Amino acid sequence: MRVLVYSDDASTREKVRQAIGRRPAADVPLVEIVECATHAKVVQHLDSDEIDVAVLDAEAQPAGGMGVARQAKDEVYDCPPICLLIARRDDRWLAEWSRAEAVVPQPIDPVVLADTVADLMRRRLSTRLTAR
């Protein structure tokens, strides 16, 4: 499965990539990470219908992950499940506004992020199987 990781910060993308690894849980497929540092690339990848899960940094600049998530949910047919990385606990309400399926606080706890991505992968697998 392809997991999109969006952040303008290379170290954040690296932490996410390391937390997810090649397989975040034994019962999910291997992961191919697709890294993006710009809003335009995120849109391009999400429009391609080749992304299964997206992890978006809410603190990315100039386009934050929350706005990107909201746009994707409004504009991308069969939008993949989205996990937002938030820096402040009070940002959870904004994450709800963005319609992201999951929220993980920063600093990133690798176990929490891996479990969250695995859950989103399971969700994506079940919706794709149901659609057939």
What is the CATH number for 121? 3.40.50.2300
Query: How far, in Å, are 59, 69, 81 from residue 23 at the CA level?
Result: 26, 24, 17
Average pLDDT over residues 26-54: 97
Task: Lay out the sheet containing 32-36: strands in order across.
Answer: 32-36, 2-6, 53-57, 82-86, 102-105
| pLDDT exceeds 70 at position 131 | no
Rounded mean pLDDT, 14-24: 98
Q: Is the pLDDT of residue 132 over 80?
A: no
pLDDT of residue 52: 97
The pTM (predicted TM-score) of the whole model is 0.95
pLDDT tens-digit readout, 75-128: 999 999 999 999 987 788 888 899 999 999 999 999 999 999 999 999 999 987
pLDDT of residue 75: 95
Model pLDDT, residue 93: 83
DSSP structure class, residue 38: S
* Residue 85: strand pairing partners: 57, 104
pLDDT at res. 94: 82
CB neighbours (10 Å) of residue 24? 25
**Is the CB of residue 94 less than 8 Å from the CB of residue 113?**
no
pLDDT of residue 55: 98
Report the chain's mean pLDDT, rounded to a whole number: 94
Residue ranges making up the domain that contains 112: 2-131
Helices (H) and strands (E) in the chain, counts: 5, 5
Domain count, the chain: 1
| Strand 2-6 with 53-57, pairing | parallel
